[in-house]
């Protein structure tokens, strides 16, 4: 993998690094602008600059060893990642994973950085459809580089960072926590929403005429839960590995450690909610199938009962329709006798079936 050196640029005027400039449009001025970026710089726990061009990162970090930076790349290609590879010495396998799609949630440790892959989730307009957004992050001792392959509410992450200025002194650990916490909260929120949908499905279980709708919604809900489970359950290992100390990339300071443990609790809660809701939906579908069998048995009993009742007049009229003489043949009282027998025997069968709850 080869990269081109960045084009020399004029020195910024005094005070420019403390003023938020326009958002950078690509990570390098050498290739055509393709990848939108967002940037921030923190010094001693304070936000000192944002919106600067990505190619300024190196000089900003060199000028102030106490600074940490965040760089966000939206759907970059290999050329867009070139300056990041050059400045941070990223491992080629990590870069390959960042560019590839449908990677599993994971945390890989390299000599100079950590590579994190995870998924943000949300419910789509169809209410039960789980939408996923794959993201990656390179975590270095002084920088967090996030790579988004799809849309994600970055402003929500910025709001979290701005709402906790006291934690900003934790450096890259603070940036990593805010990003992961926003993703995990999305997992937990979506799991709770699917749990509510499962409760609504259970309420509709015994409504008349809703069997087909319950089955359809149940299978859709179980499919959504399976998709959510594939991105939430592995996060237990991912966040658990983040909690382990790494001497090369120190993330956990005394001030930020409890917040990572809080994220881990949310990860466990989301995974447990998904598993319990899947069991709940499976139970609803099994109950629905059992209820259908019960309804079929009731219908079968009713048909058998009515068939027995109908058999009485069929037998009597068939007997009196013989072409041989019988008691009452061609006599009015014979017709009256057959009619009385039909009503009497059919009535007795009807009462007997009603007593057994067949009708």
Q: What pLDDT sits at residue 189? A: 93
Query: Could you tell me the end-to-end alpha-carbon distance of the chain, in angstroms, rounded to an integer?
Result: 79
Q: Please tell me the distance from the alpha carbon of residue 140 to that of residue 136, in angstroms, as a whole number.
A: 13
- Is the overall model pTM greater than 0.75, yes or no? no
Distance CA 322, CA 356 (A): 35
Per the CB < 8 A criterion, the answer to whether 137 and 115 are in contact is yes
Could you list the residue range(s) of the whole structural domain that residue 334 is in?
298-355
> How many Cα neighbours within 13 Å face the side chain of 152?
27
Q: Does position 337 have pLDDT exceeding 80, yes or no? A: no
Instruction: Provide the number of structural domains found in the chain.
Output: 1
| Residue 329 in domain | yes
The secondary structure of residue 8, as a DSSP letter, is P
Let me know if residue 2 belongs to a domain.
Answer: no
pLDDT for the residue 188:
94
Q: What are phi and psi of 265, to 5 degrees?
A: -60, -40
| Residue 12 pLDDT class (50, 70, 90 cuts) | very low
304 within domain boundaries: yes
For residue range 23-75, list pLDDT tens digits in order: 433 344 434 336 788 999 999 889 999 988 887 888 888 888 889 999 998 88
Length of the chain: 359
Which pLDDT score, from 0 to 100, does residue 210 have?
65
Residue 7 reports pLDDT greater than 50: no
Q: Is residue 306 part of a domain?
A: yes
**Structural domain includes residue 350:** yes
Lookup result for tokens 């998904």: 274
Per the domain annotation, does 207 fall within a domain?
no
Give long-range contacts, CB 8 A cutoff, 24+ apart: 310-314. Answer: 312/341, 312/342, 312/345, 312/346, 312/349, 313/342, 313/346
Position 327 in a domain: yes
**Tens digit of pLDDT for each residue in 186-224?**
999 999 999 999 998 888 877 776 666 888 888 889 999
Q: Is the pLDDT of residue 321 over 80?
A: no
Residue 183 belongs to some domain of the structure? no
């Amino acid at each position: 993998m080869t990269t081109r050196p960045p084009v020399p640029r004029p020195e910024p005027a005094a005070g420019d690094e403390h003023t938020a400039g326009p958002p950078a449009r690509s990570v390098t001025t050498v290739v055509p602008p393709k990848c939108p970026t967002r940037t921030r710089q923190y010094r001693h726990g304070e936000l000192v600059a944002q919106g600067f061009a990505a190619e300024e990162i190196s000089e900003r970090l060199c000028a102030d060893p106490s600074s940490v930076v965040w760089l966000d790349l939206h759907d970059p290609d290999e050329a867009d990642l070139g300056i990041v590879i050059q400045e941070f010495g990223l491992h080629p396998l990590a870069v390959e994973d960042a560019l590839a799609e449908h990677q599993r949630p994971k945390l890989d440790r390299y000599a100079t950085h950590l590579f994190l892959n995870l998924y943000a989730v949300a419910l789509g307009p169809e209410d039960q459809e789980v939408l996923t957004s794959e993201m990656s992050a390179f975590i270095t001792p002084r920088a967090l580089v996030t790579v988004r392959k799809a849309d994600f509410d970055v402003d929500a992450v910025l709001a979290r960072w701005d709402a906790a200025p006291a934690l900003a002194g934790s450096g890259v650990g603070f940036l990593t926590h805010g990003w992961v916490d926003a993703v995990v909260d999305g997992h937990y929120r979506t799991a709770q929403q699917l749990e509510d949908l499962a409760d609504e499905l259970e309420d509709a279980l015994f409504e008349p005429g809703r069997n087909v709708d319950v089955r359809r919604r149940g299978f859709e809900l179980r499919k959504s839960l399976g998709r959510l489970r594939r991105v939430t359950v592995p996060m237990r290992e991912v966040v658990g590995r983040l909690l382990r100390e790494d001497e090369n990339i120190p993330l956990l300071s005394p001030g930020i450690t409890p917040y990572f443990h809080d994220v881990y609790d949310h990860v466990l809660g989301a995974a447990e909610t998904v598993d319990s809701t899947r069991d709940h939906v499976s139970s609803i579908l099994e109950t629905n199938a059992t209820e259908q069998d019960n309804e079929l048995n009731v219908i079968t009993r009713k048909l058998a009962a009515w068939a027995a009742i109908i058999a009485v007049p069929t037998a009597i009229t068939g007997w009196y329709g013989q072409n041989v003489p019988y008691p009452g043949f061609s006599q009015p009282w014979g017709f009256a006798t057959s009619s009385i027998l039909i009503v009497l025997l059919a009535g007795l069968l009807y009462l007997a079936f009603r007593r057994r709850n067949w009708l």
